Structure 1
């Protein structure tokens, strides 16, 4: 019976590691897309850092990416940047690939 218990604990540990990695990748993606948006808005380096952190925080409002898309799109349009939801979603996808790459390199 201990073999099954050991396997169960191993699966649970793997699940926990996978979930933590997914969280870290998403947070990194949000930071990167925040930097992308800040560049489009012409923010200073200090403002860019603060804005990227705000985008990461925005992701905690609700499950999924809709809260991040709303924040980015609203902020970009308010800053006078011509964009649309499709461009923001493309940036999210592009930055997700980059975030995964960065996380894999940091291991």
Structure 2
């Protein structure tokens, strides 16, 4: 039984590690998305920092990326930035790659 218990603990540890990495990538991606959107809205550096944090917080509203996309679309359109949802989704994909790269480089 010990071999199976050890194997189970190993799988649980790997699952926990993978979930932690996924969370870190999503949080970093959302921060980068906030900075991207802030640049489009011509925010000051202080406003950019606050906005990036707000985008990270928006991701906790519901599972998936729709809450972040809704926030970005609403804020960009409110700031009179001409943008469509496809562009925001493309930025989300690009920032996901960048966040993963940054996280892997930091290790």
TM-score range relative to shorter protein: over 0.9
CA–CA separation in structure 2 for the residues paired with 1:17 and 1:62: 22
For 2:8, the equivalent position in structure 1 comes to 8
CA–CA separation in structure 2 for the residues paired with 1:47 and 1:73: 17
Which stretches in structure 2 are left out of the alignment for 5+ residues? none
Deviation at 1:8, TM superposition (A): 0.4
State how 1:91-102 maps to structure 2 within 5 Å.
91-102=91-102
CA–CA separation in structure 1 for the residues paired with 2:88 and 2:13: 35
TM-score when scaled to structure 2? Answer: 0.99
Deviation at 1:46, TM superposition (A): 0.5
CA RMSD of aligned residues (A): 0.4
CA–CA separation in structure 2 for the residues paired with 1:74 and 1:50: 17
CA–CA separation in structure 2 for the residues paired with 1:64 and 1:10: 27
Q: How many residues align?
A: 107
CA–CA separation in structure 2 for the residues paired with 1:4 and 1:63: 33
Deviation at 1:24, TM superposition (A): 0.5
Classify the secondary structure of the residue corresponding to 2:82: coil
Deviation at 1:99, TM superposition (A): 0.2
Deviation at 1:48, TM superposition (A): 0.2
Classify the secondary structure of the residue corresponding to 2:104: helix
Q: Does 1:87 align with 2:51?
A: no
Which of structure 1's runs of 4+ aligned residues deviate more than 3 A?
A: none
TM-score when scaled to structure 1? Answer: 0.99
